[in-house]
Amino acid sequence: MAERVAKRGGLGIAQIPFWLTYVFLYVPIIIVVIMSFNASDNLFVWSGFSLQWYPTVFQNSAIMEGLGNTLIVAAGATVIAVICGTLLAVGIQRYTRGGLIRAFATAPALLPDLLLAIGLLSLFALLQFTLGLYSVMIAHSVFATAFVTAIVLARLAHVDPSLEEASRDLGAGHVRTFLRVTVPQLAPGILAGALLAFTLSLDEFVIAFFTTAPTTPTLPIVIYSMVRFGVTPEINALATILLVVSVTAVLVAQRLTKFTENL
């Protein structure tokens, strides 16, 4: 049977929906980035290139306070998530069979934020836990733990289980084996999980909004309250900075997990 070699493409016009969809994905981000360099303070009029909005971001005390809160929350949540997620992943690998426990351990990463937010708020109320940075930190560590668990589990699948037995055989107890053999083997996964946890916490809004106190807003909450009075180029500059930070972190995390798979 005669077959023609299939060409990529075909009719030019048929490609339009594809490209439109692609543009649709990125237009909002591109607009934010471009407008952050707009000299005018009118959002809809381009009046020339300027970097003036970037310094103003750092002079805005509300933004700086929010950023400080967010960094504390993200750092704390990351530490908790890394410890819990690693232990959880190792425990799942070692002590359970079948996928159900595994699936439930990583599910909070996919659950609606709103569900987690309401649940956590009820839990804090029940325990009479004072809302503030700590409550957000704990709340964020819940979904962050799920992410770290998933990534470390993926890494674990590539680790030779006889390494731990070799360590024990050579005279190392459980703790020494965990710290000297298990953790170094998992390091790329743990680091990737940490970066992801940090990035996700950095711009998380819904859960933070529910579980923080009015006196301790995180950066996304600060931005939200500013935006209610109109988007300023300053916000665009801030959003662009956050974009660069998140994209970098995610790319590094991806590289680390790739690196992991190639080991």
Q: Is 160 in the site for other proteins (CB under 8 A)?
A: yes
Give yes or no for residue 39 binding other proteins (CB under 8 A).
no
Question: Considering the complex, what minimum distance in angstroms separates the CB of residue 58 from other proteins?
Answer: 41
Query: How far is Cα 68 from Cα 76, in angstroms, rounded to an integer?
Result: 12
Query: Taking Cα atoms as reference points, which of 80, 212, 192 lies closest to residue 145?
Result: 80
**Beta bridge mates, 38:** 49
Among 27, 34, 166, 227, interactor with other proteins by CB under 8 A: 166
Judged by CB under 8 A, which stretch of 54-62, 113-121, 131-139, 161-169 contacts other proteins?
Answer: 161-169
Query: How many Cβ atoms are within 10 Å of 255's Cβ, its own excluded?
Result: 13
* Binding residues with other proteins: total (CB under 8 A): 20
| 258 near other proteins, rule: CB under 8 A | no
Backbone angles phi, psi at 45, to 5 degrees: -125, 125
> What's the sign of the alpha-carbon dihedral 44, 46, 52, 55?
positive
Q: Give the binding range for other proteins (CB under 8 A) out of 34-42, 141-149, 156-164, 253-261.
A: 156-164
- Name the phi and psi angles at 5, rounded to 5: -70, 125
- Residue 42 contacts residue 50 (beta carbons within 8 Å): no
Shorter beta-carbon distance to other proteins: residue 70 or 260: 260
Backbone angles phi, psi at 46, to 5 degrees: -90, 120
Tokens of 187: 């390091």
- Tell me: does residue 261 bind other proteins (CB under 8 A): no
Site for other proteins in 167-186 (CB under 8 A): 167-173, 176-177, 180-181, 184-185
Instruction: Provide the minimum distance between the beta carbon of 225 and other proteins in the complex, in angstroms, as a whole number.
Output: 47
What residue ranges bind other proteins (CB under 8 A)? 160, 162-163, 165-173, 176-177, 180-181, 184-185, 187, 263
